[in-house]
Amino acid sequence: MTPTMLLLLLIADCSIQTLNAWKSCLFCSDVVTPTDCSRIQRCGPNEECFTDMYVTAVGGTRYNLGCRDTRQCTRAQADFEDMGNIMICSECCSGNVCNNAGCKYKGYPSPRGPICNNCALQADIDDCDKITMCQQDEVCMLQKAFNPATHESRYKTHCEKEAVCYDKIQKLKRAIESIVGKRQTQNILRYGGGPCLMKCCDTDMCNNNCNGTSQSDYIAN
């Protein structure tokens, strides 16, 4: 299968996606600090992010993180007594990975690059439960690939140098133009194909969808 045929298959397989409405929280147990956690959990409609801070039986401080029903956001110290741990803080918050700064922990450093989804292989755009903090000169990137052997499309999310990411989008745009023409390329980039095929963005968790919501998401026409 030629590169041109692969590109046509990728374009044909794209669809307009809606903005994800769910909340994602850091999801780890027994971590030294909240920012040591690199996994996320998708919360339900009646859940918020939680942070439990406790002292272990040997005197160390640890954190549990995840989603919790809002009605259970106040927890008692007795919840940990049977494990030999003593709860010293339990709180909930609203917002993507807001529990990075739970229980008065300082949270992610500032200034910093965006927090991005970080999976080498995804079945779908939002099928990633890992995150990473990018460098200040990096952006979040979403890429689509096509396996000619299985005829299946896959996605990859990661941090990328800002200049490199936008250069890849420009090259992709020129490749599409050479196949379908400039006018059709504008429609593809504007209405789903461009952001679905490849996306660069600079806000937290922005590479878990293929919406072109701002000029930073894809090369403007």
pLDDT tens digit sequence for 71-129: 888 765 555 555 667 889 999 999 999 999 999 999 999 999 999 999 998 988 889 99
In 122-161, which positions are buried (b, 16+ CB within 10 angstroms) versus exposed (e)? beebbebbebbbbeeebbbbbbbebeeeeeebbbbbbbbe
What are the pLDDT digits (tens) for 4-40?
Answer: 444 444 444 554 444 445 789 999 999 999 999 999 9
Q: What are the C-alpha distances in Å from 152 to residues 13, 145, 146, 147, 178?
A: 10, 9, 6, 5, 24
Give the residue extent of every domain in the chain: 3-21+111-208, 24-104
Q: Determine how β-strand 152-161 pairs with β-strand 138-147.
A: antiparallel
Distance CA 206, CA 110 (A): 19
Alpha-carbon distance values, 176 to 27, 28, 115, 193 (Å): 39, 42, 30, 10
Place of tokens 């922005």: 206
24-104: in CATH 3.40.50? no
pLDDT above 70: residue 3: no
Sheet architecture: strand order including 138-147: 119-122, 152-161, 138-147, 198-201
Provide the pLDDT confidence category of residue 144 given band limits of 50, 70 and 90: confident
The residue count of the chain comes to: 221
